[in-house]
Amino acid sequence: MKLNVSLPTDHKLHRFCIECNADGVEPSYVNGLKKYYCKDCKQTNDVSIYLGPTTKLWVDDNNEIWHETAGIFVRNTDGKYLFYQRDTFPYSLTIPAGHVDTNDIPEQSANRELLEETGITGKLTKLFETDIPGDSCSGGADYHKWHVYITDFNGDINTVQILEEGHSPIWLDINDVLQNDITFAVRYIIENYKDKFTY
């Protein structure tokens, strides 16, 4: 999404409406899904333009917003991977992932997101990083630089819960998950880098 407002310089969090560009959009929930309501134009949307001091972001020469993301493929002892249903846009199956914080290296953000979203801790192995155009998020960016990690989970898969941003954990073969409604980024990663998952 192209940036239609000036980048704030006050080091505070701003959420701008994608309809009218008003600042101060507020999160709301509709049927269990996170949305963003603008009190100025009274519109509710799946996304807002999120510009905050803690999220690593930049604007390219085409005025497109970029975010940086750390994502983790969690593999169990049967060779299946953990996915869950997002309740924040994009509303599809995904892996534990989140934006890289300004003062973090990607691995720090990956460890934090894994713990916050699943309660899982483990040794992370970085597989690769890649730019993914067309990867839209609730923060208004359609371009992301992904840092992709993998970790092995040796515990009881039936005890894993999704603690934030989603529900319904499911363990799937890396090929079978492509038959499901999965996020653009996860599909892109699996379709283009599946050979990286053997290490």
100-158 pLDDT, tens digit each = 999 999 999 999 999 999 999 999 999 999 999 999 999 999 999 999 999 999 999 99
Task: Give, in degrees to the nearest 5, the angle at Cα 11 between 23 and 106.
Answer: 105
Of 131, 124, 125, 161, nearest to 68 by C-alpha is: 131
pLDDT tens digits, one per residue of 59-94 = 999 999 999 999 999 999 999 999 999 999 999 999
Distances from the Cα of 144 to the Cαs of 68, 75, 113, 116, 132, in angstroms? 5, 24, 16, 21, 5
Task: Give 10-42 pLDDT, tens digit per residue.
Answer: 888 999 999 999 999 999 999 999 999 999 999
Q: Which class in CATH covers the domain with range 65-197?
A: alpha beta
**Chain mean position to CA 84:** 12
Q: Where are the beta strands (DSSP E) in the chain?
A: 14-16, 26-30, 33-37, 44-45, 49-51, 57-59, 65-75, 81-86, 93-94, 97-99, 125-133, 143-152, 166-172
Contacts (Cβ under 8 Å, ≥6 apart) of 157: 76, 82, 171
Work out the pLDDT band at 199, boundaries 50, 70, 90. low
Answer for the pair 182, 93: CB distance below 8 angstroms, yes or no: yes
At 49, list the tokens. 């333009």
Rounded Cα gap, residues 74 and 71, in angstroms: 10
Least confident of 5-9, 147-151, 163-167: 5-9
Residues 6+ away with beta carbon under 8 Å from 156: none
Q: Where are the domains of the chain?
A: 14-55, 65-197
Please report which helix (H) or strand (E) contains residue 188, including its range: helix 184-193
Q: What is the pTM (predicted TM-score) of this model?
A: 0.94
